[in-house]
């Protein structure tokens, strides 16, 4: 038994804040009196950022009131009296063992149970009414119901279990610092060449070529952001930026333009606060079983969006990349993949696919090589590379657990998680991955699936193996890594494949699987999608059970219940269905329709004798097959 001198930290007390935005604006007018500060060097830029940040923070703190949320209402007095009477009868029965008293106990327990049920239903209905009256919808309640908070677990470390929030924060920070480190160099000569090329680019005296920013542009970007998104370490929210004065907006724009011509990104904007979210189905005592979510300063993210608008026209992506590109989606990637596999089968060819796990892809990016690639392959001018170097270099982070922050740590690799520039930078980093002409790639950000086909299965396997060898040489040069244990391989078709050679990755054999998962869709060998339908129905059932208190609530209007179903449950049933619904058997379609019908019956509490067709007609909800057809038509029109 281990006795801890310091008990686990108490849970955070939820607090409600209200800000007087009129007084906040008036205070900023008195504090920020000029919109054109003198910024001639990086030191003056840092001072300007510090001045603006302190002015915003002071105005926020002076005009914001904080109070804890009201605790839930106490049980009514009449129910407390009934509970007290029931306990008195129970004690009397335990003393006397009188059958007459036992009957009174049973009657009192039944009556109390019914009274508590009725009281809870009334409280729930009143809560829904208050939410509808205040916001006009109940999606916040739906989000709370569908996303359950994981219980707190101690973290197991070589130094023992960590229970305290401050200790957990340090453990997470140390774990992430190891993650945010590039893989060791395999080709030392190539590594030196890239480093030398980066130094040469940084020494080129190149003036800024990017268009400068205007207050009108910055204001438009600020207003497009959701006001309640979490702020960074400076606690300046989008709502605070949306309420700044015209002078403060001009001041901020002046800072942004100074970043462009000085090619220097402010140090305070490089720090992120990371919160750790548990990965589903993982051992939560392991620090690596949590997903880091970075919170960056809002002023830095506004600049990123303005810079991204200037970079996108200069960057060309390969056709196979569907991630973070307008006009592309996971659904379109799935449609393309399935159509090509089916087309090959119709020509008598067998398709072989390999789904690769790019281990810690975003977190392990070698920053120097990313910038060199931008200059080499995208012809980004040296001045912009120098700005991006300042943006990526010297990144730091702190991990927050409850109200405790870890010590500041450095991130020597990776693109800033949470920044809108990061996905485009990562796509550029892997844009030159080699692809032999006789295989196909399906790319969605770091999700890579290699597939090829041939009349001979062994020939198709050799094609994939050759592509892997070429790809592994590329990953060694650019310090990336695939995880063979998480890589999945499949041969489409009915013929047995027990004696076929296996694909090898980094000395490991990859076993042939009866089905693989790519972009959330389970692909089986015969493309029946039986496993995918089963998984989809289970997910929809879990969502329906989580939303049951809302879907079955009598106080909730019918149209709101239908909207909840269409927003939370139906998207689960129809995700990427334009790609796979055509190949699903009638039996599986009926199973999917049954899942939809169960939700409809929950909504209206329909008795058993009401036909499903009547329900669909009354609720104006089409069958899933018709709905998928409509989605496919919209997809065609959109693209």
Q: What is the pLDDT of residue 145?
A: 65
Residue with tokens 């009657």: 107
Segment (H or E) for 577: helix 577-580
Q: Strands 271-278 and 396-401: what pairing?
A: parallel
- For Cα atoms 249, 251, 253, give the angle at the middle one, nearest 5 degrees: 70
Range 268-295 average pLDDT = 90
**pLDDT tens per residue across span 407-454:** 999 999 999 888 889 999 999 999 999 998 889 999 998 889 999 999
Residue with tokens 């990016």: 365
Global pTM value: 0.84
Q: What is the pLDDT of residue 1?
A: 40
Instruction: Kindly state the DSSP code that residue 339 receives in the 8-state scheme.
Output: H
In DSSP terms, 86 is beta-bridged to none
Tell me the CA distances in angstroms from 391 to 267, 298, 362, 365, 526, one per residue in order.
9, 15, 16, 14, 48
- With CA atoms as reference, report the closest residue to 235 among 54, 411, 405, 401: 54
Domain(s) of CATH 3.30.70: residues in the chain? 330-362+433-524
Span 330-362+433-524 CATH architecture? 2-Layer Sandwich (3.30)
**pLDDT tens per residue across span 360-384:** 888 999 999 999 999 998 889 999 9
Mean pLDDT across the chain:
89
- For Cα atoms 116, 118, 119, give the angle at the middle one, nearest 5 degrees: 65
Helical ranges in 358-517 per DSSP H: 367-377, 382-392, 421-429, 457-477
Range 528-546 average pLDDT = 94
Contact 462, 503 (CB under 8 A): no
User: What's CA 380's distance to the chain center, in Å?
Assistant: 30
Label each residue of 555-573 as H, E or C. CCCHHHHHHHHHHHHHHHH
Report the distance separating Cα 150 and Cα 291, nearest Å.
13
- With CA atoms as reference, report the closest residue to 306 among 349, 259, 271: 259
Instruction: Kindly state the DSSP code that residue 196 receives in the 8-state scheme.
Output: H
Question: Which two three-digit tokens encode residue 276?
Answer: 């750790």
Contact 565, 600 (CB under 8 A): yes
Range 595-619 average pLDDT = 91
């Amino acid at each position: 038994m281990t006795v801890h001198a310091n008990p686990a930290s108490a849970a955070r007390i939820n607090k409600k804040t209200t800000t007087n935005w009129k007084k906040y604006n008036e205070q900023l007018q008195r504090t920020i009196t000029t919109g054109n500060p003198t910024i001639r060097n990086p030191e003056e830029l840092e001072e300007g950022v510090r001045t603006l940040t302190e002015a915003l923070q002071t105005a926020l703190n002076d005009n914001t009131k904080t109070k804890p949320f009201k605790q839930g209402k106490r049980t009514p007095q009449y129910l407390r009296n009934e509970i007290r009477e029931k306990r008195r009868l129970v004690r009397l029965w335990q003393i006397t063992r009188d059958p007459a008293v036992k009957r009174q106990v049973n009657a009192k327990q039944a009556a109390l149970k019914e009274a508590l049920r009725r009281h809870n239903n009334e409280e729930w209905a009143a809560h829904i009414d208050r939410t509808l009256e205040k916001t006009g919808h109940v999606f916040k309640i739906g989000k709370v119901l569908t996303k359950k908070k994981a219980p707190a677990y101690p973290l197991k470390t070589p130094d023992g279990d960590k229970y305290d929030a401050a200790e957990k924060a340090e453990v997470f920070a140390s774990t992430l610092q190891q993650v945010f480190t590039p893989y060791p160099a395999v080709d030392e000569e190539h590594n030196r060449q890239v480093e030398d090329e980066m130094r040469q680019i940084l020494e080129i005296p190149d003036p800024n070529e990017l268009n400068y920013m205007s207050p009108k542009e910055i204001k438009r970007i600020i207003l497009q952001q959701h006001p309640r998104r979490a702020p960074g370490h400076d606690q300046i929210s989008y709502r605070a930026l949306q309420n700044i004065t015209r002078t403060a907006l001009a001041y901020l724009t002046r800072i942004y333009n100074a970043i462009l011509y000085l090619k220097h990104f402010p140090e305070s904007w490089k720090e992120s606060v990371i919160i750790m979210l548990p990965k589903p189905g993982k051992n939560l005592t392991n620090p690596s079983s949590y997903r880091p979510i970075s919170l960056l300063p809002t002023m830095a993210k506004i600049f990123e969006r303005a810079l991204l608008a200037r970079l996108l026209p200069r960057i060309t992506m390969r056709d196979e990349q569907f991630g973070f590109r307008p006009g592309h989606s996971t659904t379109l990637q799935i449609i393309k993949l399935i159509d090509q596999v089916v087309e090959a089968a119709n020509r008598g060819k067998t398709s072989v696919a390999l789904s690769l796990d790019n281990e810690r892809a975003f977190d392990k990016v070698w920053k120097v090589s990313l910038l060199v690639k931008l200059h080499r392959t995208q012809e980004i001018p040296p001045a912009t590379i120098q700005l991006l170097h300042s943006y990526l270099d010297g990144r730091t982070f702190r991990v927050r657990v409850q109200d405790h922050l870890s010590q500041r740590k450095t991130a020597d690799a990776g693109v800033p998680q949470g920044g809108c520039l990061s996905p485009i930078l990562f796509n550029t980093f892997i844009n030159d991955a080699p692809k032999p002409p006789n295989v196909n790639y399906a790319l969605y950000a770091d999700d890579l699936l290699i597939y090829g086909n041939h009349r001979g299965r062994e020939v198709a396997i050799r094609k994939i193996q050759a592509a892997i060898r070429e790809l592994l040489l590329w990953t060694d040069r650019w310090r990336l890594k695939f995880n063979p244990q998480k890589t999945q391989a499949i041969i489409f078709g009915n013929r047995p494949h027990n004696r076929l050679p296996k694909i090898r990755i980094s000395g490991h054999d990859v076993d042939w699987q009866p089905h693989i998962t790519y972009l959330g869709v389970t692909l089986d060998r015969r493309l029946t999608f039986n496993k995918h339908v089963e998984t989809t129905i289970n997910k929809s059932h879990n969502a329906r059970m989580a939303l049951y208190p809302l879907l079955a609530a009598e106080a909730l209007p019918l149209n709101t219940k239908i909207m909840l179903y269409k927003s939370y449950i139906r998207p689960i049933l129809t995700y990427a269905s334009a790609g796979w619904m055509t190949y699903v058997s009638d039996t599986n379609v009926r199973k999917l329709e049954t899942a939809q019908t169960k939700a409809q019956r929950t909504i209206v509490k329909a008795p058993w004798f009401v036909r499903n067709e009547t329900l669909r007609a009354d609720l104006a909800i089409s069958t899933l097959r018709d709905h998928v057809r409509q989605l496919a038509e919209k997809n065609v029109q959109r693209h």
